[in-house]
Structure 1
Amino acid sequence: MTPVVARLSLDDCRRHAPDFANLLADAVRKYGIPSRALSVRTLLHLPRTTRPDGTVGRKAVIGELKRNALRLRADQRAIDSLVPKDRFELPDLRFVRLGNNDADQIFSRLHYLRSARAGSVNFALVDPVNRLPVTLCSVTPLEWMRVGRQLQSQFGVPLGAAWDVSRVYSFDVAPPNAISFLLAKVRQVIRREIPSVQLLTTAVDPNLGFVGASYRAANWQQWMSIEARPYLYVDGVYASPRQLRTRFGGANLVELRAAHPRGRFEQSRAKLLDSVIYCCRLRGETEIVPEEGQRRLRR
């Protein structure tokens, strides 16, 4: 009989080692929600209770799985009319430009950040019967100036000529390779319709179990990394700095605690892994950057 461990390492949770995978599977069966979406949401919240040595208590993991499963189930029910139920093969899906209303509802409810990026252009693969989005993404002019300046100095990409794939979401019914297929279609349409754009970028966060496989399959390349900053939480729920500035007018925890004494503002305790920046040129091949040529950007 396999012994029950009292503490799990955050790294094992990211890699879906058996101790975490079994707890995840139990929660998926109990609450009837998608495994991948629950895993990502839970990994986003586990660093709040993780010790500096990178371990988290088994009871805390079970608690986060339950809490995030209930919230995810409520989010799905809130937009049930937009959730596809039927499976189709990849060639049967249709590539479309998705309206902001549908995209914003899906990203604000089901994406792990639970927010849509303002000013985005949205694309999707929709099913051929109900025209429901199966896999979708939003593309936005790159706002991350530190990345933009590095792209300009190292790769000759002018400021303003890079756009960011800022949100991606794929439902459980999506066929294999749906995200990479969607990314290839997006590259084609932006190259044709917005000739000023030379490059697409995205940030992949390995702390959430992402490894960039869909981007590599679409011939994107890893060009740089950027140091991690602590995750931020309000009353136990993750909030990005952008969301904090929108809700409270700032993202400094010391100032927020002073201004809102009834709120519980926290940050993650354990060391987080750097985010990886993947890039794709819209014209010609995207060059491979050897590891020694990849810069690590600081916040």
Structure 2
Amino acid sequence: MSVIPIDRPSAALDQSPAPRRLVSQPPAGPSRATVSLVDCQAHDSPFGLLVREAAASNKVEPRALAVRTLLHLPRVAGHRGQISWRQIHTELRRRSAELLADQKKVQRLIPTGSFKLQDLRFVADYSSDNAAEIFNHLHYLRSARPGSLNYALVDPYYGLPISLCSVSPLEWRRVGRQINSQFGVAMEAVWDISRVYSFDVAPANAISYLLARVRNDLRQRVPEAQLLSTAVDPNLGFTGSSYLAANWQRWMTIKPRPYLYFENGYVSPRQLRSRFETTNVSELRAAYGTKFEQSRAPLRDSMIFCCRIKGETEFVPQDLQRRLHR
């Protein structure tokens, strides 16, 4: 199997007490006052140069900072997806400060050593408390999925997590119904990779290796499980390459909904329901005014990748992939 670059949002050890000032000008090259969100999502974009500079100044991992910033840029982008460099600088400063603060809260769990992939130890029942700390503070959604099975690749000396993921029964009914009707797998037999996080020191292909081990473990642990699924959001720069490297296939796409924000921070529908007991946009705006916002810029479809737990996973040509509405 050929080596494919992997997506891995991550974080490094916090050694800076406060976010440092970013450059005052956009990187050399852009002549326009604005840039599109799609351009920012490209790995070789001028936005990426700004992210690397900010990450180096603040001792945070570039990918983690990029993902968090991309999650928040749609809040201030225009209807056509254009955003100014000034707005990008503002969000980079905010997310640098946020990431620094979050790293401090889990500093005891952040690995610093470098290891070869074959030296890492696979843990099938990784500590739910440690996993929750990492997902609640370092994952871009900043929330763990309750009731999940947690898996990790840990360093061989201290047992610190290098790459980890949580797996839980699929709750997305629209996806479950489509999988059932098109591929004959009952929703109750589908398990979802609900969270993935990999630290900066993770070796190449750590996530795809972890996914392969998870598949093997679930085959024994949950005999009734037939399929693994996950959602990949390209608006955050993710391509799904780590899933392709683990022999997953893209089976369908999901039409996006606007991102939601409260007091300048992203909130998922699940978090809104837990915090405010509603996801109704009109109710939230009436109650909180400008504290509650939703993105206006066009967003790209999320991609649903799947992997059969037993046997090969079917390749589905793009023209046969269904586009689901939420």
TM-score when normalising by structure 1: 0.97
Matched to 1:251, the amino acid is T
Q: Which moved more, 1:120-129 or 1:26-35?
A: 26-35
Matched to 2:169, the amino acid is P
Deviation track 1:126-176 (CA, whole Å, cap 9, x = no partner) reads 000110010000000000000000011000001200000000000000000
Select which of 54, 58, 65 maps to 2:92: 65
What is the CA distance between 1:4 and its match in structure 2? Answer: 5.0
Q: Which residue of 2 aligns with 1:232?
A: 260
Matched to 1:43, the amino acid is L
Deviation track 1:90-144 (CA, whole Å, cap 9, x = no partner) reads 0000000211100000000000000000110000000001100100000000000
1:61 to 1:198, Cα distance in 2 relative to 1, 3 A:
same
Measured in 2, the distance between the counterparts of 1:18 and 1:103 equals 32
Measured in 2, the distance between the counterparts of 1:291 and 1:241 equals 28
Q: Which residue of 1 aligns with 2:208?
A: 180
Measured in 2, the distance between the counterparts of 1:164 and 1:266 equals 29
1:120 to 1:3, Cα distance in 2 relative to 1, 3 A:
closer
Q: Aligned to 1:165, what secondary structure does the other structure show?
A: strand
Q: Which residue of 1 aligns with 2:322?
A: 295
Structure 1 stretches of 5 or more lacking a match? none
Matched to 2:277, the amino acid is G
What is the CA distance between 1:21 and its match in structure 2? Answer: 1.7
Matched to 1:181, the amino acid is Y
Matched to 1:160, the amino acid is E
Measured in 1, the distance between the counterparts of 2:79 and 2:287 equals 28
Measured in 1, the distance between the counterparts of 2:221 and 2:53 equals 47
Q: Which residue of 1 aligns with 2:278?
A: 250
Structure 2 stretches of 5 or more lacking a match? 1-27
Aligned-residue identity in percent: 57
Q: Which residue of 2 aligns with 1:8?
A: 35
The answer as to whether partners of 1:126 and 1:133 remain within 8 angstroms in 2 is: yes
Measured in 1, the distance between the counterparts of 2:38 and 2:249 equals 24
Select which of 121, 127, 136 maps to 1:108: 136
What is the CA distance between 1:2 and its match in structure 2? Answer: 4.0
Measured in 2, the distance between the counterparts of 1:18 and 1:192 equals 43
Deviation track 1:17-75 (CA, whole Å, cap 9, x = no partner) reads 44212211221122110000000000000000111111100000011011001100110
The answer as to whether partners of 1:8 and 1:19 remain within 8 angstroms in 2 is: no
Measured in 1, the distance between the counterparts of 2:162 and 2:299 equals 31
1:2 to 1:209, Cα distance in 2 relative to 1, 3 A:
closer
Q: Aligned to 2:286, what secondary structure does the other structure show?
A: helix
Q: Aligned to 1:98, what secondary structure does the other structure show?
A: coil
Matched to 2:73, the amino acid is L
Is 1:27–2:32 an aligned residue pair?
Answer: no
Is 1:39–2:66 an aligned residue pair?
Answer: yes
Measured in 2, the distance between the counterparts of 1:8 and 1:275 equals 22
Measured in 1, the distance between the counterparts of 2:304 and 2:135 equals 21
Q: Which moved more, 1:64-73 or 1:11-20?
A: 11-20
The runs of at least 4 aligned residues of structure 1 exceeding 3 Å deviation read 1-5
Is 1:284–2:298 an aligned residue pair?
Answer: no
Structure 1 vs Structure 2 CA RMSD = 1.1
TM-score when normalising by structure 2: 0.89
Is 1:201–2:233 an aligned residue pair?
Answer: no
Q: Aligned to 1:124, what secondary structure does the other structure show?
A: strand
Q: Which residue of 1 aligns with 2:184?
A: 156
Deviation track 1:182-204 (CA, whole Å, cap 9, x = no partner) reads 00000000001100000000000
Select which of 159, 162, 172 maps to 1:131: 159
1:161 to 1:18, Cα distance in 2 relative to 1, 3 A:
closer
Measured in 2, the distance between the counterparts of 1:160 and 1:183 equals 20
Q: Which moved more, 1:267-276 or 1:4-13?
A: 4-13
Q: Aligned to 2:187, what secondary structure does the other structure show?
A: coil
* Larger RCO, structure (CA 8 Å, separation 6 or more): 2
Deviation track 1:208-257 (CA, whole Å, cap 9, x = no partner) reads 00000000000000000110000000011000000001001111121012
Q: Aligned to 1:174, what secondary structure does the other structure show?
A: coil
